[in-house]
Structure 1
Amino acid sequence: MNRTSFRKALAPSVAVLALSVSLTACGAGNEDSGSGSSEGGESSSGLSGTLAGGGASSQEKAQAAWRAGFQDENPDVTINYDPIGSGDGRANFISEAFAFAGTDSALDDDEGELSDAQARCADGNVIQVPAYVSPIAVVYNLPGVDELNLSPETIANIFNGSITTWNDPAIAETNPDADLPDTAITPVHRQDDSGTTENFTAYLAEAGEGAWTEEPDGLWPESLGGEAADGTSGLVGAVSGGEGTIGYADFSAAGDLGVVNVGVGEEFTAPSAEGAAMVVANSPAVEGAPETDMAVELDRTTTESGAYPVLLVSYMIACETYADEAEAELVKEYLTYVVSEEGQQAAADEAGSAPLDPALSEEATSLLENISAG
């Protein structure tokens, strides 16, 4: 199979207004963390049982929509998704605690994760398909400042601790009309192993004009200060609860917080699904990736008008081969729904993500169709 490029891989028309999605079908959606074995009688779809997954907290709203839609069509199935962070999601997938995982940073072999995942999958390859493309918002809480423009270098200097007050000249330069107070800046970061953190620090390292000297990583650098919070909801809560705070989170979770317009070329761009889609559409696939791996190298230094380069591509990981036939069937059917046009639109409506283009959805579906029991 020839791998499809991520170029033009996202739908040009993106739904960004969050619509209400009924979650009544979720039932005990997060009550069971057991394996994906069959339980109870079969529904008219022929599927029944419980499936355990988890990982990226950025996917939390999308997963709620996906679970609701899938369980509505398959009422004898319960899908559990624990938003414990990408790193723990990958670890629990490798240990077989999860049948599938969501991750904002692709499996690679820098720390042996890809090899470990391959070993977990025994008689088949690990599958890695894109499922959720979303901007990362730089969120802040500064009463009286409703709009804020920051360059990549300034953002990096805020989070590395070099800029410590809101009226710093570097902030004032790009916000001449704002009444900036001398309030101390409190950067808030994730304390868990987070794909959002890895993507955010990769952006700072690549676009920050040398201001960020740390290696991109899912764990925040221990040498840097700031306030730590657990998960996306914890970070948003910490920023909301403290005046002068600033952090980073999936755009779907920004709520009523201020959202930074990020410098891109000569412009300042607000986060949007369309802007994130532009970046992904011009980013190449990872060189040398196996046929079952659809990971992409994001272009975080783009200067294209309208592009928003602070983003994540969140993946679903699964095995081609499972020991249990019922588990294999549930994983295949659920993840196929996730990457389908219906599933992608449900995520766009609920979380403002950018739906996969039909060609990319078809490629992901073709990989998922190979899931079976060994």
Structure 2
Amino acid sequence: MAILTLNAGSSSLKVSLWEEGRRRLAAQVERLGSDARLSVEYGDDSMSRDIGQADQAQALDAVLSELPDTRIEAVGHRIVHGGPDRTEPERLTEEVLRDLARLSPFAPLHQPHNLAGLRAARAAFPEALQVGCYDTAFHRGHPWVNDTFALPRRFYDEGVRRYGFHGLSYDFVTTLLARDYPDLHAGRVIVAHLGNGASTCAIREGRSIGSSMGFSALDGLPMGTRCGQIDPGVLLYLMDQKAMQPAEISRLLYKESGLKGLSGLSSDMRSLLASDAPEAAEAVSYFTFRLAREIGAMAAVLGGIDGLVFTGGIGENAAPVRAQALETLAFLGLELDPGANAANAREIHAGPVPILRIETDEESVIARACARILTSSG
């Protein structure tokens, strides 16, 4: 059973080849649209090369040229937005694709690129099963108070509600907790998925109860280039007093804000932590302040906390970020072991509440979903 998993973003494409439940190859194309570069890991071997100007289809072609000769039975896709009703991975029929395309205004930075990757995969593997796995699905069991905005009810009925994202990552973490930490899985856990996109999630007995992300992937924590939580009055001011048009505001909020906007230097946390510039330190401090605030908010949603998990590129690798964020949260029982934290150990707590560092693997969640659907279809 050979399965491909695709994670198509605005500037990158990640592809993994799975056979018999094991990852055989992992490939990534970065800097799509300009000077794209392909990197491939295959067993103990690795390679990288420039592929020049490339869109999603051309990037996939470059990856496919490096694949071993094998028949692909299914292609699984990370799709950011599944809307209010989709709670499980599913076959991507023409009707489903039309529905997903209509959700593009809800996730303009991600959905069009997810669907472009899907179209490229269908052209490359017309006989393969195409499966959609939704980042929003994990959050569909939220209580109504965590899903709605205080707007007239008709907007909620039209789909203007809190969706939550990073669901595939949270799915992976909760599945691992159920296997390795069953007592913790049965309790109240806050997971912080921290990367170029960042969010926190309140989880009770393996189910999402609340998320820092809302209607879009802009809300909550500051991110690499995204602003995070912002007073909507700021947007009214920009439109009224600065005469900014929707496209300008979208570019500001999605591409020019967050760590990049605050520091004026970089959207990459690694670069900011290595910098001596005061603006870099201020950007990191704002990020960790907001992270502590969101952890506290998720604890309130859950009525307490039995465990905290850090995951994602920053969450897994930036020990100073974890330490700064938890400086003020000892009152919740959250205390780090400095040595374990610096060593990026899995268990990094010194206090009564477990604190874990877990390396997420969204592609494995997609591959398992494809295998289930293939098996059930006989």
TM-score, shorter chain, exceeding 0.5: no
Higher helix share: 2
TM-score, normalization by structure 1: 0.29
TM-score, normalization by structure 2: 0.29
